[in-house]
Chains A and B, each alone.
Chain A
């Protein structure tokens, strides 16, 4: 749940607030819960809604309504054809790798990011993700696929061009010593 909140809010403090709100809402609603869905899925759903509510407020505040990055329905045809699969483990420090993964994730619109986090980071099943986000399973699959393709493009652009930079080579050497 922390990961979902963190990835959606892109801010550890706001993620913490979302988590607090989630549990407070959950305790309040617990008498009405009656085991209609799985407890874990239900909590994810509350967290997701709490995060979306905050994002909506944030957007009103900043007046920017359009989501950055890959819009849904956009052309998904691959553009990057460099094989970088051997790079990350060999050359990148963990922190640098995590930073690049985080940066790529933040370029996804929230509708794709939520699905990707629950499926590929939190490890929920398609059915659990669908229940948590109030989507159909087909919709979850479509969004997950779009998210993965978009992330692949981002990581390809990153690993095939800029990284590893001369700086990280140096860092790597000093790290090894």
Chain B
């Protein structure tokens, strides 16, 4: 397996949606290729960072305004 062959499968690999045989090939390649190892690790970290810190709560005042608008519409 070459570097470019695994690139397209990395998201499926990280999401656990890749067949076992392909996973094994990726792991074999990554064990020998430092660049691809970094790509896999940092790609995984990228996803993890957004999952952990990417979510923003709607501000309370925006929520209040939203409820106010919707109540108004419902009453009419």
Contact = CB atoms under 8 A, between A and B. Distances in A.
Interface of A: 2-3, 6, 12, 16, 19-20, 23-24, 27, 76-78, 80-85, 88, 94, 97-98, 101, 105, 116-117, 120-123, 141, 144-145, 148-149, 151-152, 155-156
B62 A12 contact: yes
Contacts of B51: 120-121, 123
B69 to A, nearest CB: 5
Nearest to B4: A77
Interface of B: 4, 7-8, 10-12, 34-35, 38-39, 41-47, 49-51, 53-59, 62, 65-66, 69-70, 73-74
Contact of A16 (B42, B62, B74): B62
Nearest to A98: B53
Given A27-B74, A101-B53, A81 B38 contact: yes
Going nearest first, the 7 A-B pairs with the smallest beta carbon separation are: A145-B11, A2-B58, A121-B54, A85-B45, A152-B46, A16-B62, A81-B35
